[in-house]
Structure 1
Amino acid sequence: MLGLTFTAFVLIGPSWWQLVTAAVVAVLLGQVMFLGHDAAHRQIFESGRWNDWSSLVIANLYAGMSYGWWQHKHSRHHAKPNQIGVDPDIATGALLFHTEDLTAPRTGLKGWLTQRQGWLFFPLLLLEGLNLHVSGVRTIFGRGPVKRRPVEIVFVTLRLGGYLALVFWLLPVGMAFAFLGVQLGLFGLYMGAVFAPNHKGMPLVPPDLRIDFLRRQVLMSRNVRGGRFVDLFMGGLNHQIEHHLFPS
């Protein structure tokens, strides 16, 4: 599918129909990331090494994101989902999931966003695709530990550099920016629409509460049922309770 989409992109050339291609790329890259997620959880091969390299190729080279950044963040989430101060998925940022981390009331733009964050949640997800790329680049070029930093740098540079070069070579500047905006916006919206329902709205665990593994993984997770289309759309992650109980 990626090969066919790439061929269509080249054959269509400088046309506003490329925005349709951008939407298709966004969905396909979402599906690619589900495969990267499976490999990172050791779900594809018996060999941990094969799974690691599959994740590097899929996440870094195909999707342009850092496997090392995602693994560190996602491992903390799986260890203690929805626990305040531990789970990075509910950390205070543009959105506010709890008030324990606040040192002062939110005012100005942050206060305005917080008061309307329910309405703004999905529009803000249009920026999540860009945020995922930026977070990965900051990690692999930062000072923190990254297991295979040189490989990640090479893969991400090839992917992002080659992708941008191709888009701006084939399309006029304005059309190229529109293509990237649609692709990144829909990709972020897609990822958020899949991952957010899995835990958002479920109970939050206080920082000092001790809870056993079964309750921690089951009570903080949500399954989403809807047939084969939902299974395909969400990459199987709609079975979040089972995924947290048996992540590999």
Structure 2
Amino acid sequence: HNLLNLYYTNYWIGHKDELDMASDHYLWLVLYHNHYKFSYILSQNPIVNFSMSGRSNMNTKKLCEQNRNVLDYVLPKDDASYARRAKICDLYCATRMLTYYSEEIEKGIFQSTLKKYIHGTEEYIIFGAGHMGQEAYKVLSMIDISPKYFVDNYATTNSGCYKEIMIYSPEVLRDERNLTVILASVGYEDEMEKQLLDMNLSETIKIIRYTDICSGVLQSCQG
């Protein structure tokens, strides 16, 4: 009750007419910015159920605009972390907007634009088997490209498969040559790239970022 009272009284009331889709995002940022602690619950059972066909999922462009505005409502621009957080927010919105444009513009145009960044002559590995890695998989499938496999650091995700494509530890990359690794993450790309470089793979693999692909395709579509 006290948390919701803080949110509604000091924050939400001033922007309620502007946040018909991003009010939940606003709540979590308010709590985080006010130094409340969050815990991760590891459970095999569902703890929440929501529709994937709600207004926010069906209005990606508007949702991204509101989510970006939320950052400005919570964090002053002179805050030391503002630039980093704004960049992460913009990159995440780019990944969401890529799906939006894939459905809004003519399929052939979208595919030809995507092929400027993803080439059928190359062999791809996706680093990250979570939500972002699965999104990268869907984007590659739009131009009939399938990754050779996924790699992931976490035992809960690197010991199985996704869409019948195997998921391995990044250690398997030590035996690879002449392939491209797509870093499928938002905010952790630097750490992932450093991990691969520390494995002395700079001479044997090429590294690209999924967010760079999304940003590049969006610029071309919007331009």
Identify which of structures 1 and 2 has the higher relative contact order when contacts are C-alpha pairs closer than 8 Å and 6+ apart. 1
The structure richer in helix per residue is 1
TM more than 0.5:
no
Q: TM-score, normalised by structure 1?
A: 0.23
The structure richer in strand per residue is 2
